[in-house]
Amino acid sequence: MKNALAKIGLLLLSLGVALAVGEIVLRGLGYEYQPLQISAANGSDARDYHLFSDDNFVYDPQLIWRPKRGHGVFNSLGFRGPEVGPRNGKIRIATIGDSNTLGWADADGANWPADLAELLTTADIDAEVINAGVWGYSSHQGVPRTREVLELDPDIVLISFGSNDAHQVLRSDAEFSARSLGSRRLELVVQRLRVAQLVTAALDRMNPAGFEPRQRVSQDEYRRNLKTMIDEVRQAGATPVLLTRPFYGPVLDASGWKSRGPEYNLLTTRVAEEQGVLVIDLYSFFKEMDPLFADESHFTDAGHRWAAALVLEHLRPSLAVL
Amino acid sequence: MRKELSSQSLLRQAKIGILVVLALAAATVLLVETESALEASGESEDPRLVLSEALAVGDQTLAASALEAGADPSWAIVDAARREDVESLRWLFERGAAAAGRPGTRALLWALRSEDPELAAMVREHGGELDATDPAGVTLLMSMAAAPTKQKRAYHILSALLDAGADVNARSRAGRTALMLAVKADRMRVIRRLLEAGAEVDARDQDGWTPLILAARDGRSRTVAKLLEAGADSNAVSDSGWTALMWAAWHGHVPVVERLLAAGADPNRSSYAGGTALIRAVQAGRPRVVAQLIAAGADRGERFAGLDATEWARLSGRRYLFGVLRRLSTS
């Protein structure tokens, strides 16, 4: 028995030494491989940052990254805006989307959902707005995020995706969440250990199809995701509204997301038509309005305010019914 | 000995390899040559081309046999019109050929280019439609109106089309008229000609844009003046809630703003899509336009999304507009 234990111990020790030697040799050779293959085909992948470096998020197997509750701009439920209390007869509006929905990072950073809340108050409409946008989110993450926000029983859910979906990467969001290790810590270890990188590289080599650049969310999946969100919002008794994703400026890189952005926006309007859902075409409205953008795809403070005003005008008929 | 043998067999294998590669290359070349030869022979035997070429060299016997063999005459009609070959056209039409569909329109285009009225009349008489459209609903008149200035014949053809009675107010699928396309292409001479021919000055496309809104957005001051002179409504609003003045203010087109205000554009007209022209000028950071609008009576207190002009200046990070907003409104 003792002998057997000693043997196992020796085995583990030699395994450890072998791994350590392997690690040292690989580091000495300067070997490196992105174990999760989430690096973008061109430039860096924002997912990498949000998942491993962004202090605002924790790992989540479904959402990939989830807002830390009560941290930064997020309230105790992981949404932006005041703490959510009892309804008290108020109309409850939820917004789901990416960085342009969540808004700027500082505590009072502009975001159109907050401006919408203010405009509703000014217009004497008793309503509140829950901002469930998340930096870097695609529609793939939008689906589980919608389920979260539906637990708060909103009346209207505004859905805005299409820019992160169009980003070109080596692993789509669906593939990424399918192969994730289930723990951020484990992912981090794997990302840092060269031996683990080597194993992942060997696995990837066996599946070469995974190296073709593709969109984070394919157009087919985007359509399906929108449809799923619409269905689930409706099943929960709320009204879904789709927004096209605004951005401006010339397309300089044919493989960049902006070259595909209009196709995703077109899909948004098509799905809305097919499903009989109200669509607010912010893209068409803002595409010639550079002064309202801080960069190619994010509103300035004034842009957020303007967008909120447009959204309110389009929502007025629905609000009157509620 | 074994070594020699193996090096010999290696050499032999290499030779066989080279021979195989050469044979493959030869076969490929042969295949490509045969295909292109086949293609070439196929082309020369296309009865449509035979007909067209026979008429070009005046061989009516060959042309007649091609027609009998069932050749589609539309290529020949277009080609004859291009050559200004009245005789061949007459010959074709006498045999029942018609200048129908898109080939007919192309033949008509060549005929109109030729400055020979007889040619154009003949093509029209045999089916060449003046107002035929392409899949986008664009007529010949529209494409001539949108042609760049360097296409010198375009104006001549456009004029001929109008003289022949082409519909000056025909709409493309996007609801655009020839006048709108001429405004977009900045063709002043064409704009004048279309207006003389009765072009509707306030026609709206499917987004509710009028020629004046298009011209104002692009900063075409002379065109704006011409359209206003022709009676364009200076306060027309597109479906997205923009007037010509709002667009000119947004883009900072000072001369256009001046002309629009002089023609009675209302500086205080507001829409859900962005408030007044003043707010838009503030938003886009256009101090000269802000000054113009306030001088024309724009109300500094008008609000959009709960904010007035000064508050928009602050929110947009355009504090340099504070001065002009304050100074002018107190003076």
- Say which of A119, A285, A289 has its CB closest to residue B305: A119
pLDDT greater than 50 at residue A36? no
B315 located within any domain: yes
In a domain, A240, yes or no: yes
Q: What is the pLDDT along chain B (331 residues), one digit of tens a residue?
A: 444 545 666 666 666 666 765 666 666 556 555 555 555 554 557 888 889 889 998 888 899 988 888 888 988 999 999 899 989 999 999 988 888 887 888 898 888 888 787 888 888 888 888 888 888 899 999 999 998 877 778 898 899 899 989 999 999 999 999 999 999 999 999 999 999 999 999 999 999 999 999 999 999 999 999 999 999 999 999 998 999 999 999 999 999 999 999 999 999 999 888 899 999 999 999 999 999 999 999 999 999 999 999 999 999 989 889 888 887 655 4
Which residues on B lie below 8 Å from A302 (Cβ)?
Answer: 283, 312, 315-317
**Other CB atoms within 10 A of residue A43 CB:** 12
Q: Are residues A298 and A225 in the same domain?
A: yes
Res A208: pLDDT: 61
- Residue-range definition of the domain harbouring residue B324: 205-331
In a domain, residue A46? The reply is no
Partner residue facing A122 (CB), from B274, B306, B316: B306
pLDDT in tens, B214-267: 999 999 999 999 999 999 999 999 998 999 999 999 999 999 999 999 999 999
Tell me the nearest-neighbour CA distance from B141 into chain A, angstroms: 29
Interface of B with A (CB under 8 A): 240, 250, 272-274, 283-285, 304-307, 312, 315-317
**Is B128 inside a domain boundary?**
no
Residue B252 buriedness (CB in 10 A; 0-12 / 13-18 / 19+): middle
- B210 located within any domain: yes
Contacts of B273 in chain A (CB under 8 A): 285, 310, 313
Residues A13 and A98 grouped into a single domain: no
Among all chains, which residue has been given the structure tokens 């093509």?
A: B123
Enter the DSSP assignment of A73: T
The answer to whether residue B197 is domain-embedded is no
> Does residue A232 belong to any structural domain of this protein?
yes
Q: Are residues A8 and A139 in the same domain?
A: no
Give CA–CA dist B85/B51, Å, rounded: 14
Could you tell me the residue range of the domain that residue A24 belongs to? 1-30
Domain count, chain A: 2
* Residue B226 located in a structural domain: yes
Q: What DSSP string runs through B26-62? A: HHHHHHHHHHHHHHHHHHHT-HHHHHHHHHHTT-HHH
A-B contacts at Cβ under 8 angstroms: 41
- Shortest CA gap A25–chain B (Å): 40
Which residues in chain B have Cβ-Cβ distances shorter than 8 Å to A300?
A: 316-317
Say whether the ipTM exceeds 0.85: no
Q: How many domains does chain B have?
A: 1
| Residue A70 forms part of a structural domain | no
Q: Is pLDDT of A155 > 90?
A: yes
Q: What is the CATH number of the domain that holds B323?
A: 1.25.40.20
In a domain, A58, yes or no: no
Q: Are A264 and A165 in contact (CB under 8 A)?
A: yes
| pLDDT for B128 | 84
Percent of chain B beyond pLDDT 90? Answer: 53
A133 and A22 in a common domain? no
Give residue B158's pLDDT: 93
Mutate one of B253, B283, B304, B308 to test the A interface: name it (highest A CB count within 10 A): B283
| Mean pLDDT computed over every residue of chain A | 88
User: Is residue A103 located within the same domain as residue A16?
Assistant: no
CA pair distance A35, A190, nearest whole angstrom? 7
Q: How distant is the Cα of A114 from the closest Cα of chain B, in angstroms?
A: 13
- A3 & A125 share domain: no
pLDDT in tens, B254-308: 999 999 999 999 999 998 888 999 999 999 999 999 999 999 999 999 999 999 9
Please provide the average confidence, as pLDDT, over all residues in chain B: 87
A285/B283 Cβ within 8 A: no
Q: Residue A227: which CATH number?
A: 3.40.50.1110
Q: Are residues A162 and A272 in the same domain?
A: yes
* A249 and A153 co-located in one domain: yes
Is residue A185 in some structural domain? no
Can you state the angle between helices B321-330 and B287-295, rounded to 10 degrees?
Answer: 10
Q: What is the pLDDT of residue B284?
A: 94
Same domain, A6 and A90: no
Q: What pLDDT score does B32 carry?
A: 54
Looking at chain B, list the stretches that DSSP marks H as alpha helix, in order from N- to C-terminal side. Answer: 2-44, 47-56, 60-68, 74-82, 86-94, 101-113, 117-125, 140-146, 152-163, 178-184, 188-196, 211-217, 221-229, 244-251, 254-262, 277-284, 287-295, 309-315, 321-330
Does residue B296 lie within any of the structural domains? Answer: yes
pLDDT band of A242, cuts 50, 70, 90: very high
Q: Which residue of A has its CA nearest to B242?
A: A285
Q: Is residue A133 part of a domain?
A: yes
